[in-house]
Structure 1
């Protein structure tokens, strides 16, 4: 049996085709989407967990070394592996927000897969993270369908997070393929996420059109110019219909991070000075909230960096602000701050004011926000998205008949206005913001595995 699998930066979902119709598969009760998060008692717990609880062995020597180390560390820490001590999705997020200091939490591992220069054991650990999440979703889907799932088409962005182009893409796809194979999929294919979203839209067309698909996900934005319509519907070979294709690592997470940086971090000392007159270094305020950057997070949460922050506190013109940054380090609050920015972004899509509440130690900071403030904060990533659209227009050499927008972040009125500013005369339509990629992947799985 075949499914489409959207292993997303923000959420994961799966779907199948029955009698030419897309059927999303519930993963938790009646929920079709599970947040791309995992939480465990420790980092090492996860590697031994998938071995003990899913009976999944490592894929190579690096994985075997990682597992041996994990078993040793867990034994020394007195940790026994139990299936009910690793959490996924909303449960993982809730547990982390309740006690961030005493759990190991990862959001959006897909954002890390293209980072070049990592050690083999680090790559093996990323593979374990993805494998655990995929195995959990596969098991839930099989429990619902009461049958084994062996074939899948997994969505991929045009470009993964990473600075090495195709080298980053190859590494990320290799991790995803190995993790999916270990999770139990026998046949694995990949499809570009904007193409998949376009395939779902194509099913609604009655005439052939040039369609610009703009997929703004949690971690990336991808744009594709595709010929679509009844002439190509259901065909496997259609490489000639893809006229232009661009993508970069700018998505909803980046918008949330920029809101946090521009609107929240001044309360933690961003923009302030030391007694010497020198500014407090900017990386201290960026690294703590760069939740899609493994190296930035690692640098911020070291003991050495905590000593540097405390020294800055002693020499700051506004030490009370730097004291809040110390709390961010000691209580691992970076994810929580970005989460508040995301909530503010969503709230301001439907009203004119919103007050964000930041709980730092015994203090509650109230920060009033407006749509205008959000627009200013995210100007840089929004301009990157506009440049992507212009790039795909240049590549394809055609003007679209219609723009199809999808992805959770595409609901933002700010982003829709940005798209409209590039192509003011072109109709913008949308379908299921969260489900169009999954639906298209299911359609492609049905086509691919029937060949």
Structure 2
């Protein structure tokens, strides 16, 4: 039985196999050099025509067509009875017979109903479940490039993981189960091809609290969707492990003595913190529940930072803060909706024709409408995900640079935004205060003071974050060096090998 570790992340995902001695990272993205990580976003698209409308919608349209035919028959009857010329009556009689034939020709009515519905239908009106059942899937850079080339041909799900704990109806649950099943099946296929063996089971990382507002009910829903998706993907067995605990298992392999460690995992969608006893003598022990002293988490991740930086540094160049001629501000919800790449209802609303009309009307009563026109271009061309992705890259560059120039020529020619590290610090300040509070909460829950700290996850590469945590909270506590991007998945693979 071959088992793998899967770090199914908000921004990126990774698969690792551990043979008991060494880790093997599975290449997932053929378009990226050393592509062991892959974007978690999925592009679901149609190369040609949209899928036919569902049967129930067709039946409703057929009923509407029948009502119209009935009205035409009644008018033809009135014409027949009021006609004085037999030839004219004969014309009406033939018309009545033709309409009655049309009324009872159900296949023809269904074809006509489908044609009319297809003509009026746009991609945004297709329910997500039908899109998942009928569309084609593209992952990683291929999916993102397809999205950039043909946004009107499909829908980009920027971060499927962020929806798992949210309020979902049954069709939406089925849709996300289908999306994740397709991703996990692809991960499994890549692992089997590269390991040259059948992969039967997996340990999947999970945040302490999934993104959402439903608490423990949201967590249970997320695990159920992931479990059922893994089964659909072909896994005979699947288990879950808190991501900070997985990172602890990886660092445990490097220890020479028993140690109590504080693990801070700051990922794309959540921040999770745990205090755990680690021991080189217990690395092969399967159940380590007694070693976990405290664990806590919250939906605070890199994506929140991306949105905050966008609102602080880029949105003002798109009209945020402008006032209309009557002194009222341009609605700030324009910009929060533009950022809502992980909120399908909000993003669907933002891309609607009515929303574009509302922005255009606001432009007409704004003194300097040039900046607001950039927002309208983003709305009309469905560029939200691309803008958020650009800001994410700017955030990463500011980890090592004092200033950067963010090119946004796909919005407008010669449109560039200068962003400084100081601007990033200001954008991160409210977010960082919440991360600190989470660390304090974890420390207060344990009676044993940690001896060392390990900060991992993509956001741990930012000096701003490290400096903020060490300024007061972690001052004097030795920091364990680790691979910020791979520690969690390598720990998951270690746990998988114990099964």
Instruction: Tell me the TM-score normalised to structure 2 length.
Output: 0.80
2:255 pairs with 1:205: yes
Task: Give the equivalent residue in structure 2 for 1:425.
Answer: 476
Q: Is the 8 A contact 2:460 2:484 kept in 1?
A: yes
Task: Give the equivalent residue in structure 2 for 1:7.
Answer: 8
2:402 pairs with 1:352: yes
2:472 pairs with 1:446: no
Q: Distance in 1 between matches of 2:268 and 2:411?
A: 29
Of 182-191 and 276-285, more deviation after overlay is shown by 276-285
Deviation at 1:280, TM superposition (A): 1.6
2:387 pairs with 1:337: yes
Structure 1 alignment gaps of length 5 or more: 49-71
Deviation at 1:325, TM superposition (A): 1.2
2:105 pairs with 1:104: no
Match of 2:35 among 18, 31, 47: 31
Q: Is the 8 A contact 1:214 1:404 kept in 2?
A: yes
Q: Distance in 2 between matches of 1:317 and 1:201?
A: 58
2:21 pairs with 1:17: no
Of 364-373 and 438-447, more deviation after overlay is shown by 364-373
Q: Deviations over 1:245-285 (max 9, x none)?
A: 11111111111111111100011111111111111221111
2:274 pairs with 1:224: yes
Q: Deviations over 1:179-223 (max 9, x none)?
A: 110000001110001100110001111111111111111111111
Q: Is the 8 A contact 2:44 2:135 kept in 1?
A: no
Q: Deviations over 1:294-315 (max 9, x none)?
A: 3322332222222221221112
Q: Is the 8 A contact 2:46 2:135 kept in 1?
A: no
Alignment of 1:297-312 (within 5 A): 297-312=347-362
Partner SS for 2:338: coil
Partner SS for 1:428: coil
Task: Give the equivalent residue in structure 2 for 1:61.
Answer: none
Q: Deviations over 1:419-446 (max 9, x none)?
A: 2122111122231111111111111111
Partner SS for 1:378: helix
Alignment of 1:305-324 (within 5 A): 305-324=355-374
The CA RMSD over aligned residues, in Å, is 2.7
Q: Is the 8 A contact 1:327 1:360 kept in 2?
A: no
Partner SS for 2:480: strand
Task: Give the equivalent residue in structure 2 for 1:58.
Answer: none
Alignment of 1:24-173 (within 5 A): 24-29=25-30, 30-42=34-46, 86-116=137-167, 118-173=168-223
Deviation at 1:105, TM superposition (A): 1.4
* Paired residue total: 423
Task: Give the equivalent residue in structure 2 for 1:62.
Answer: none
Larger Rg: 2
Q: Is the 8 A contact 1:46 1:86 kept in 2?
A: no
Q: Distance in 1 between matches of 2:406 and 2:305?
A: 16
Task: Give the equivalent residue in structure 2 for 1:292.
Answer: 342
Alignment of 1:374-389 (within 5 A): 374-389=424-439
Q: Distance in 1 between matches of 2:266 and 2:481?
A: 12
Task: Give the equivalent residue in structure 2 for 1:395.
Answer: 445
Partner SS for 2:414: strand
- Structure 1 residues 430 and 290: CA distance shift in structure 2, 3 A: farther
Q: Is the 8 A contact 1:194 1:214 kept in 2?
A: yes
Q: Deviations over 1:34-80 (max 9, x none)?
A: 111222324999999xxxxxxxxxxxxxxxxxxxxxxx99x96999x
Q: Distance in 2 between matches of 1:202 and 1:45?
A: 53
- Structure 1 residues 364 and 100: CA distance shift in structure 2, 3 A: farther
Q: Is the 8 A contact 1:210 1:225 kept in 2?
A: yes
Partner SS for 1:355: strand
Of 378-387 and 156-165, more deviation after overlay is shown by 378-387
Partner SS for 2:324: coil
Q: Is the 8 A contact 1:46 1:129 kept in 2?
A: no
Q: Is the 8 A contact 1:220 1:251 kept in 2?
A: yes
Structure 2 alignment gaps of length 5 or more: 53-113, 124-131
Q: Is the 8 A contact 1:28 1:140 kept in 2?
A: no
Deviation at 1:333, TM superposition (A): 1.1
- Structure 1 residues 416 and 308: CA distance shift in structure 2, 3 A: same
- Structure 1 residues 305 and 319: CA distance shift in structure 2, 3 A: same
Q: Is the 8 A contact 2:274 2:292 kept in 1?
A: yes
Deviation at 1:28, TM superposition (A): 3.6
Partner SS for 2:277: strand
Q: Distance in 2 between matches of 1:90 and 1:24?
A: 18
Q: Is the 8 A contact 1:328 1:360 kept in 2?
A: no
Q: Distance in 1 between matches of 2:222 and 2:487?
A: 23
Partner SS for 2:7: strand
Q: Is the 8 A contact 2:26 2:190 kept in 1?
A: no
